[in-house]
Amino acid sequence: MSNREVVVLSVGGVRFVTRASTLQRFPESRLARMLSDGDQEFKLINGEFFVDRDGTLFSYIMDFLRTLQVSLPTDFSDYQRLQREAEFYGLYPLGDLLSQEHLLKPRLEILEVRFSLQELQAFFRIFGSCSTTVEALAERIAVFTGQQSGQSWSSPFPSHKPLAPLPLERPSHHDVVFQCGTDYSAGDQFVARYVSIKPDDRKLINGTNVLGLLLDTLLRDGFRLISTRTVSHEEKIECYSFERMQSPAGPAIAVSQTPASSGAAQAKRSQVQKGK
């Protein structure tokens, strides 16, 4: 059977079609040996290998063999059962990874937006539990400053006068601070701050408009608004709390390409690269 190119398996009544080379990705696994050995757990019936195991869990085994990554649904909970299946098939690197559930479980991200509207200025502070998310969001937010006349300070769009970019304030890796509106007046001239949030190319000065765009951006990014509250009535600070479940990047296993390597040595050389 070792010269087969296409292999058909029936696992617990679920049919799988794959390449022989995929099953031979780990040479010392039982799936690789199945093609040449007479393992009684794998019965050849009408040209198909029959295996009396869980067919649903085997779909994750096949996905791992094809990609060398572990990608599980966010609501997946059968880590121990899948680990047993991996060990049954002799896929010990996968079994070792599944024993470390914390590397595979999705994590809950919390993000808060604090908004304060004071006369002609609006102040924003974004705090997130995941520094990578905050960093990515900060790269999409741009603040510009320029002078405006007294007749046009409230316009949602800047005049044709040149605007200078301003750096965002980053008190820590977990938060970002910025503002929009007017800072002060000199005669009939106002120093104004505009905010732009990619991919939207508008430059907005009105704090309520910026808040609406920011909240819409977070919702499109998969966050869910879970609460709103007033932090301070005196300072008019409102807080919007969001959360989302973020799946970890599928941890990958580097496989030795030496066909004759032993199972123990291969498992030892296999390196689990943890997703951040």
So where are the chain's domains? Answer: 6-104, 108-151+159-246
Superfamily name and number for 108-151+159-246: GTP cyclohydrolase I feedback regulatory protein GFRP (3.30.1410.10)
CB neighbour class for 21 (10 Å; exposed up to 12, middle 13-18, buried from 19): exposed
Which of 271, 273, 248 is CA-nearest to residue 104? 248
pLDDT (tens place) for every residue of the chain, 276 residues total = 445 689 999 999 999 999 999 999 999 999 999 988 767 788 888 889 999 999 999 999 999 999 998 888 877 889 999 999 999 999 999 998 888 876 777 788 999 999 999 888 999 999 999 999 999 999 999 999 987 665 554 555 555 568 899 999 999 999 999 999 987 655 566 788 999 999 999 999 999 999 999 999 999 999 999 999 998 778 789 999 999 987 666 566 665 544 334 444 343 334 433 333
- Statement: the pTM of the whole predicted model exceeds 0.85: no
Say whether 108-151+159-246 and 6-104 share the same fold. no
Cis peptide before 199 (omega within 30 of 0): yes
CA gap 42, 8 in Å, rounded: 12
Which of 199, 231, 225 is CA-nearest to residue 213? 199
For 6-104, give the CATH class. Answer: alpha beta
Q: What is the pLDDT of residue 267?
A: 39
Beta bridge partners of 115: 124, 238
Q: What is the pLDDT of residue 54?
A: 95
Pairing of strands 121-128, 107-118: antiparallel
Q: What is the pLDDT of residue 48?
A: 92
